[in-house]
A and B are shown apart, each in its own frame.
Chain A
């Protein structure tokens, strides 16, 4: 089983603060790194999928970077808003003997943004 880990487990910030969290994954046999946002009572939704070392992706105030050589990705949120409160999941696929691959998820980082 692939080992994907996220830190911190939870985070409380004030509205307007910028924040970041980490996802670490095995650097060998790397295919891709996914970030998802999971708001309460909703389905998890994809934020980014990154495949290349040095990739940087941005969506509004949220951005992510990828370092496949050392096995980590950072997710940044600039100027956090209460609507950013959610669980942020990262995941990495491994082939696992299949052509499609299987996603292994980290435990998630629970972000709470206080007004």
Chain B
């Protein structure tokens, strides 16, 4: 079945460590996105990529890094510079332009807890 797979579902990180969240899609979508959710807040955009080897910062990119070496993969690294990384992370993708009325599709998310 086509879809977006995120792994791991749950991750615990020690302070000072970098961790990488995986996101893979087999929908042949061009664009991919990473969102973060905190209690009581809407989804906030971390990074997005419209094509392979290109990505842009979203609204809360500090302390995060991404790569887009393959169309189907968009991993997110949470670095030690991210001050408050404990959150729920959602990966998403879209076929066409959001400004033209195309929708996005989401993975099931990854919970990251700093211990």
The reply to whether the CB of B2 lies closer than 8 angstroms to some CB of chain A is: no
User: A43–B108 contact, CB under 8 A?
Assistant: yes
Stretch at the interface among B64-72, B78-86, B98-106: B98-106
User: A102–B98 contact, CB under 8 A?
Assistant: yes
Count A-B contacts at CB 8 Å. Answer: 76
Residues on B with C-beta less than 8 A from A99 are 50, 97, 99
Residues on A with C-beta less than 8 A from B101 are 31-32, 49-51
User: A103–B45 contact, CB under 8 A?
Assistant: yes
Residues on A with C-beta less than 8 A from B98 are 31-32, 93, 100-103
Q: How large is the interface on B (under 10, 10 to 19, 20 to 34, 35 or more residues)?
A: 20 to 34
Whether A34 touches B48, Cβ cut-off 8 Å, given contacts A43-B4, A102-B58, is no
The reply to whether the CB of B90 lies closer than 8 angstroms to some CB of chain A is: yes
Residues on A with C-beta less than 8 A from B99 are 31-32, 93-95, 99-101
Stretch at the interface among A12-20, A68-76, A77-85, A105-113: A105-113
**Cβ-neighbour of A100 out of B40, B43, B94, B103 (below 8 A):** B94
Residues on B with C-beta less than 8 A from A34 are 103-104
Closest-CB distance, A54 to chain B (whole angstroms): 15
User: A98–B42 contact, CB under 8 A?
Assistant: no
**Cβ-neighbour of B31 out of A50, A91, A100, A106 (below 8 A):** A100
Interface centre among A51, A101, A105, A107 (most CB of B within 10 A): A101
The reply to whether the CB of A89 lies closer than 8 angstroms to some CB of chain B is: yes
Residues on A with C-beta less than 8 A from B26 are none
User: B90–A108 contact, CB under 8 A?
Assistant: no
Residues on B with C-beta less than 8 A from A46 are 103-105
User: B106–A44 contact, CB under 8 A?
Assistant: yes
Instruction: Please list the residues of chain B having a beta carbon within 8 angstroms of any beta carbon in chain A.
Output: 4, 30-31, 33, 35, 40-45, 48, 50, 56, 58-59, 90, 94, 96-109
- Given contact pairs A49-B101, A100-B94, A100-B96, a sample of 14 additional A-B residue pairs in the complex whose CB atoms are under 8 Å apart: A31-B101, A32-B98, A32-B101, A43-B90, A51-B101, A95-B99, A100-B31, A100-B97, A102-B45, A102-B48, A104-B45, A105-B43, A105-B44, A107-B42
